[in-house]
C-alpha cells in the first residue's frame, strides 16, 4: 500500500470528546470516524486490525470444533417475549416497529435466536453436543458510550453458544472455551486473567471474565486477586474474608441526640467524635419498584450488583428524597431500619455490621441520631459490600490486591435459562424430552482492539503487537525525489510484500518529520528509513516497541523483518 493512496487522515490534535487513550489514538491516527454517539466507521486501518483479531478468533474456535455461522442483527420481539427478556432487558435494547407494525429490536446478543434455530434443527441427543458461533454486530443503547470502542453502542462481538445433554459435558466445553480464550488473547499479544464474575442480564450461574489488566484509569472494572492462591474476581462479585471485628462505639446507654444538618458519615463521625466504623449506615433503594434498606458499617460501601443478587431483583436504584419520605417516613441522612414496617420495606444487614456494639444509628427523624444502639437478635447477615484492597482472600485468607481491568471476553454457563422458557428440547436416549443445557461465550472484537491500545502505546502513538498490526512495516524514503533513495525504497517495499510481510511505502512528498510522526502514531511495528546513508549502502531500521535504531544494509533489513515478524 502506498501511503499517498491509503484512505487515512491523521490529526494533529486529540479529539476533545475523548477520555480514553485508545479512543484518542484511534481517532487521531485515522482508524475510526464517529457517526453518532457510540457509533463509528471502521476505516481501512481499523478494519485490517479487526480482520486479524477475527481470524485469530476463528482459527482458535474452529480448532475446538465450534462451527461458524451468521445470525440476523434485526430480530422479532416475539422471540424475546418467549424467553421473557422483552420486558426485562431495559433501555439497552433498541426497539423499533416495521411497516407491518411488528415490534422488532436490534440484537444486543443472540441467545434467543440461536436457541430457536437449534431447537428447530436438533431434536435428538445424537446431534449433541454442538457449539456454534458468529462474528456479528451488536447494538446496545449504553447509557454512557464515552470510551470510544471500549464501550460503543454498536460494536462487533464474537459470540458462541454450546448445547449439551449434561452438566458434565457443559463443564468440559466450558474448560475448552476457557483454554481457547487464553490462546486467542495471547495470540493477539494480550495477557489476560480469568476472573469470577457476576452473570448480569445474561444469567446463569458460573461465569468468568477475561480481563486485560491495565493501570490506565479507564479500565472499567476493579479486579481483586490473591497472589497466594490465584483467587480473582470482578469487584461486582468479589468476596472477602472479614474477621468479625468487635467495634464498640463506647456509649453506655442508648440516647437520642441532636445532629443538626449532619448528614454524611464523615460529618457524623467528626460531630460525634466516633470512628466511621462505629456508625451503622442505612442506604435506601428501590428494587423492582419496592423499597429496600441496606444496613452497612459506616466505613464500608454497598456493592449494588451484590445487593441486586441478594434481593433476586432485576433492577435497583437509590431512593429519591420524596420516596424516602413516602416509604420510610424519614429523611436523607437520618434513615434507619428501626420503626419501619418490615412487611412493606425489606431490610438487609451486610456482614460488616456483625460485631458492632453501642453504635450510632439514624433515628428516622430529621436532625437526630441514636447513639449507643445495638443490633436486633437473629439477623441473617448477607454479603452486599464492596471489597477493599487489604481485606482478606475468601479462599486462603491472605490479603487481597486490587487492579483495574478491561473485560475483553467472558464465558457463561447458562444451564437451561433459555431452553426452558423457550421450550427448546431434545429427546434423550430413553425417549424423554429434555431442555438443552447451554453455555455462551463472548469476545468483544472491537473492544479487544481498543484494549490492545490501552495496553500498548506511548506519547507518540500506538505500539501494535505484531500479530494484530494493520501493517507490519513502513518504508520511508526521506526524499522521494531522490532517485537512489526512491529506488531502494520501492525495491524494499516490493520484496517485503512478496515475502508476505505487509508493507506500506510512505511515497508522500512530505517532510521526513511528518512521515516519522505518522509512522509512530499509526504504530507500525517496524520502520525502515532510506535516507542519506544509502550512499554508504545503509538504511535505518527502527523497532517501534523499544525505539531502537540500527543502521544495516537493505538485505539485512529484509532478513531482520523476517526474523521479527514471521516466527
Ligand atoms: P460490560 O459489563 O462491559 O457491559 P457485558 O457483560 O455486557 O460487558 P457481554 O454481554 O457478556 O458483556 O458481551 C461479551 C463481550 O462483548 C464483553 O466481554 C465485551 O468484550 C464486549 N462488549 C460488551 N459490551 C460492549 C460495548 N458496549 N462495547 C464494546 N464491546 C462490548
Ligand atoms: Mg454490558
The DSSP letter of residue 125 is: G
Closest CA to 292 of 304, 280, 301, 300: 304
Q: If you measure from the C-alpha of residue 442 to the centroid of ligand 2, how many angstroms do you get, rounded to a whole number?
A: 12
pLDDT digits (tens, 9 = 90+) for 128-183: 999 999 999 999 999 888 899 999 999 999 999 999 999 999 999 999 999 999 99
Q: Is the CB of 148 within 6 Å of ligand 1?
A: no
Asked if 515 and 525 touch (Cβ cutoff 8 Å), the reply is: no
> With 0-12 CB in 10 A as exposed, 13-18 as middle and 19+ as buried, what is 425?
middle
Asked if 169 and 163 touch (Cβ cutoff 8 Å), the reply is: no
- Which H helix or E strand runs over 504? strand 503-505
Backbone angles phi, psi at 360, to 5 degrees: -95, 140
Q: If you measure from the C-alpha of residue 21 to the centroid of ligand 1, how many angstroms do you get, rounded to a whole number?
A: 19
pLDDT of residue 315: 82
Backbone angles phi, psi at 87, to 5 degrees: -90, -15
219 pLDDT tier (thresholds 50, 70, 90): low
Q: Is the CB of 158 within 6 Å of ligand 1?
A: no
Q: Is the CB of 203 within 6 Å of ligand 1?
A: no
Largest Cα–Cα separation, the chain: 95
**Least-confidence region, from 231-235, 303-307, 358-362, 539-543:** 231-235
- Taking the alpha carbons of 243, 230, 194, 402 in that order, is the dihedral positive or negative? positive
Between CA 426 and CA 124 the distance in angstroms is: 5
Q: Is the CB of 83 within 6 Å of ligand 1?
A: no
pLDDT over 50 at 202, yes or no: no
Give the number of whichever ligand sits closest to the CA of residue 138. 1
Closest CA to 201 of 149, 236, 162: 236
pLDDT of residue 217: 63
Closest CA to 441 of 465, 410, 462, 414: 410
Q: Is the CB of 142 within 6 Å of ligand 1?
A: yes
263 pLDDT tier (thresholds 50, 70, 90): confident
- Helix axis angle, 554-565 relative to 483-498, nearest 10°? 30
Q: If you measure from the C-alpha of residue 151 to the centroid of ligand 2, how many angstroms do you get, rounded to a whole number?
A: 8
Q: Is the CB of 197 within 6 Å of ligand 1?
A: no
Q: Is the CB of 44 within 6 Å of ligand 1?
A: no
Backbone angles phi, psi at 133, to 5 degrees: -145, 165
Mutate to test the pocket of ligand 1, among 148, 160, 442 (most ligand atoms within 8 A of CB): 442
Q: Is the CB of 370 within 6 Å of ligand 1?
A: no
pLDDT digits (tens, 9 = 90+) for 548-563: 999 999 999 999 999 9
Give the chain's domains with CATH numbers. Answer: 21-239+402-454 (3.30.930.10), 247-382 (3.90.960.10), 471-565 (3.40.50.800)
Closest C-alpha to ligand 1, atom 21: 444
Q: Taking residues 57-77, what's their average pLDDT?
A: 98
- Helix axis angle, 21-28 relative to 445-455, nearest 10°? 100
201 pLDDT tier (thresholds 50, 70, 90): very low
Q: What angle do CA 203, 208, 213 make, to 5 degrees?
A: 130
pLDDT of residue 98: 97
Q: Is the CB of 523 within 6 Å of ligand 1?
A: no
200 pLDDT tier (thresholds 50, 70, 90): low
Between CA 558 and CA 556 the distance in angstroms is: 5
222 pLDDT tier (thresholds 50, 70, 90): confident
Closest C-alpha to ligand 1, atom 9: 442
pLDDT over 80 at 378, yes or no: yes
pLDDT digits (tens, 9 = 90+) for 453-510: 999 999 999 999 999 999 999 999 999 999 999 999 999 999 999 999 999 999 999 9
Asked if 499 and 472 touch (Cβ cutoff 8 Å), the reply is: no
pLDDT over 50 at 331, yes or no: yes
pLDDT over 80 at 220, yes or no: no
Q: Is the CB of 46 within 6 Å of ligand 1?
A: no
Q: Taking residues 14-37, what's their average pLDDT?
A: 95
Closest C-alpha to ligand 1, atom 23: 444
The DSSP letter of residue 400 is: P
Torsion over CA of 38, 41, 46 and 52, rounded to 10 degrees? Answer: 90
Closest C-alpha to ligand 1, atom 26: 151
199 pLDDT tier (thresholds 50, 70, 90): low
Asked if 145 and 38 touch (Cβ cutoff 8 Å), the reply is: yes
Asked if 316 and 286 touch (Cβ cutoff 8 Å), the reply is: yes
pLDDT of residue 153: 97
Name residues whose C-beta falls within 8 Å of residue 538's C-beta, 6 or more positions apart in sequence. Answer: 551, 552, 553
Between CA 340 and CA 337 the distance in angstroms is: 6
pTM for this prediction: 0.88
Between CA 46 and CA 51 the distance in angstroms is: 9
Q: Is the CB of 529 within 6 Å of ligand 1?
A: no
- Report the chain's mean pLDDT, rounded to a whole number: 94
Q: Is the CB of 446 within 6 Å of ligand 1?
A: yes
- Taking the alpha carbons of 77, 170, 166, 69 in that order, is the dihedral positive or negative? positive
Amino acid at each position: 500500500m502506498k501511503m499517498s493512496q491509503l484512505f487515512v487522515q491523521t490529526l494533529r490534535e486529540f479529539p476533545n470528546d475523548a477520555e480514553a487513550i485508545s479512543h484518542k489514538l484511534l481517532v487521531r491516527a485515522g482508524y475510526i470516524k464517529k457517526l453518532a454517539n457510540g457509533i463509528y466507521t471502521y476505516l481501512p486501518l481499523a478494519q485490517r486490525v479487526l480482520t486479524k483479531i477475527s481470524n485469530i478468533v476463528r482459527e482458535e474456535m474452529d480448532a475446538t470444533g465450534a462451527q461458524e455461522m451468521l445470525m440476523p442483527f434485526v430480530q422479532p420481539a416475539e422471540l424475546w417475549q418467549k424467553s421473557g427478556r422483552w420486558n426485562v432487558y431495559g433501555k439497552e435494547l433498541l426497539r423499533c416497529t416495521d411497516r407491518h407494525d411488528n415490534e422488532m429490536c436490534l440484537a444486543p446478543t443472540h441467545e434467543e435466536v440461536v436457541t430457536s434455530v437449534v431447537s428447530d434443527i436438533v431434536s435428538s441427543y445424537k446431534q449433541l453436543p454442538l457449539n456454534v458461533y458468529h462474528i456479528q454486530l451488536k447494538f446496545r443503547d449504553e447509557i454512557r458510550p464515552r470510551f470510544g470502542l471500549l464501550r460503543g453502542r454498536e460494536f462487533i462481538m464474537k459470540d458462541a453458544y454450546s448445547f449439551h445433554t449434561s452438566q458434565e459435558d457443559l463443564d468440559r466445553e466450558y474448560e475448552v472455551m476457557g483454554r481457547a480464550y487464553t490462546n486467542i488473547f495471547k495470540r493477539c499479544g494480550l495477557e489476560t486473567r480469568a476472573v469470577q464474575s457476576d452473570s448480569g442480564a445474561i444469567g446463569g450461574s458460573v461465569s468468568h471474565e477475561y480481563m486485560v489488566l491495565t493501570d490506565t484509569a479507564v479500565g472499567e472494572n476493579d479486579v481483586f486477586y490473591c497472589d497466594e492462591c490465584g483467587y480473582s474476581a470482578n469487584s461486582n462479585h468479589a468476596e472477602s474474608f472479614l474477621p468479625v471485628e468487635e467495634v464498640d462505639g463506647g456509649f453506655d446507654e442508648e440516647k437520642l441526640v441532636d445532629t443538626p444538618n449532619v448528614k454524611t458519615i464523615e460529618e457524623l463521625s467528626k460531630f460525634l467524635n466516633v470512628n466511621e466504623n462505629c456508625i451503622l449506615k442505612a442506604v435506601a433503594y428501590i428494587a423492582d419498584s419496592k423499597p429496600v434498606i441496606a444496613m452497612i458499617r459506616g466505613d464500608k460501601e454497598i456493592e449494588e450488583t451484590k445487593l441486586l443478587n441478594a434481593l433476586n431483583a432485576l433492577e435497583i436504584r437509590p431512593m429519591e428524597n420524596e420516596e424516602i419520605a413516602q416509604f420510610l417516613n424519614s429523611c436523607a441522612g437520618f434513615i434507619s431500619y428501626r420503626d419501619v414496617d418490615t412487611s412493606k420495606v425489606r431490610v438487609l444487614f451486610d456482614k460488616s455490621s456483625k460485631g458492632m456494639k453501642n453504635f450510632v444509628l439514624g433515628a428516622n427523624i430529621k436532625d437526630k441520631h441514636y447513639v449507643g444502639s445495638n443490633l436486633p437478635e437473629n439477623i441473617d447477615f448477607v454479603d452486599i459490600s464492596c471489597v477493599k484492597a487489604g481485606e482478606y482472600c475468601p479462599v486462603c485468607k491472605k490479603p487481597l490486591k486490587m487492579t483495574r481491568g478491561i473485560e475483553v471476553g467472558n464465558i457463561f454457563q447458562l444451564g437451561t435459562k433459555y431452553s426452558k422458557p423457550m421450550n427448546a428440547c431434545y429427546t434423550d436416549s430413553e425417549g424423554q424430552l429434555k431442555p438443552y443445557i447451554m453455555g455462551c461465550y463472548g469476545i468483544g472484537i472491537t473492544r479487544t482492539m481498543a484494549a490492545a491500545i490501552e495496553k500498548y502505546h506511548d506519547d507518540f502513538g500506538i505500539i501494535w503487537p505484531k500479530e494484530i498490526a494493520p501493517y507490519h512495516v513502513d518504508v520511508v524514503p526521506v526524499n522521494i525525489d531522490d532517485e537512489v533513495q526512491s529506488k531502494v525504497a520501492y525495491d524494499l517495499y516490493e520484496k517485503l510484500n512478496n515475502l508476505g510481510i505487509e508493507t506500506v511505502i510512505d511515497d508522500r512528498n512530505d517532510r521526513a518529520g511528518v512521515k516519522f510522526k505518522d509512522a509512530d502514531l499509526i504504530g507500525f511495528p517496524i520502520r525502515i528509513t532510506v535516507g542519506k546513508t544509502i550512499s554508504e549502502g545503509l538504511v535505518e531500521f527502527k523497532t517501534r516497541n523499544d525505539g531502537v535504531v540500527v543502521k544495516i544494509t537493505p538485505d539485512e533489513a529484509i532478513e531482520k523483518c523476517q526474523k521479527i515478524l514471521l516466527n
